[in-house]
Structures are given as structure tokens and as C-alpha cells.
Structure 1
Amino acid sequence: MTRTYVLTVFDKSGGKLMDESFTAANDQEAKEVGTAKLSESGYNEHTHRCVSPEAKLVLFHR
């Protein structure tokens, strides 16, 4: 069963640079997919978060 996760990236003033949903089988896969998406977009060092359908933080950087 796939689950829907949300990856959000913020700029320094708190504005959203990315707000994207994607599916993954579990939290570990979501962390890997989220990290890959951040790398592809060049947002690794920006403030970001990835949350599960239950609003659990899977990935976070400030």
C-alpha cells in the first residue's frame, strides 16, 4: 500500500519554494525519495520538511 507524503522547502523569509506530494511505501522510502528530490532541485541546504499522512516528520532540516 502506498502512502502520500508532502515535501515542503522554505526560503529564508518563510516563503515556500517547493510544496510537492509524492507516494512511497513507508517512511524510510519517503525519506530516500524526499532526499533525492531535494538533491535534484538543489534545495539540500534550504529549510525543508517531509511529513507522512499522519503529519509525522520524516525528514527535516533547518
Structure 2
Amino acid sequence: MRTYNLTVFDQTGEKLLDESFTAGTDEEAKEVGQARLSEEGFNDHTHRCVSPEAKLILFHR
């Protein structure tokens, strides 16, 4: 399993969510990240999810 980081920001740049989770693949991490964003109601906020190599898996501005 690999550790991914999901971060959500408000319009001023303040972090609203900053958490790590594990997933087996980048595609699985994308699904987990999208589900987490939906749970918290952050789909329309600026967010990013990065792999352990700092590859962007999810990004919305």
C-alpha cells in the first residue's frame, strides 16, 4: 500500500482539510480522494491529492 495526501484550501489559502490515506494504486487513490471530498462537501473547493512521488492524482482550482 502507498500513502497519498489529500489537501483542500479555501479562497484565502487556508487549509480546510489535510489528511493522508493509503491505496494500492493511483486509480484507487483517485476514487478514495473523490469519495472523501464528496463526504466533506469540498468538491468545488481548491484541492489536490498527491502520490508519494508528488505526482498529482486529483487537482481542482
Pair 1:3 & 2:2 matched: yes
**Map of 1:22 onto structure 2:** 21
SS in 2 for 1:13: coil
Runs of 5+ in structure 1 lacking a partner? none
Match of 2:51 in 1: 52
Q: Return the TM-score normalized by structure 1.
A: 0.98
Q: CA deviation at 1:50?
A: 0.0
Instruction: Give the number of equivalent residue pairs.
Output: 61
**Consecutive aligned runs of 4 or more in structure 1 exceeding 6 Å deviation:** none
Q: Which amino acid aligns with 1:48?
A: H
Question: What is the percentage of aligned positions where both structures have the same residue?
Answer: 75
1:48 Cα deviation from its structure 2 partner: 0.0
Q: Which structure 2 residue ranges, 5 or more long, are not aligned?
A: none
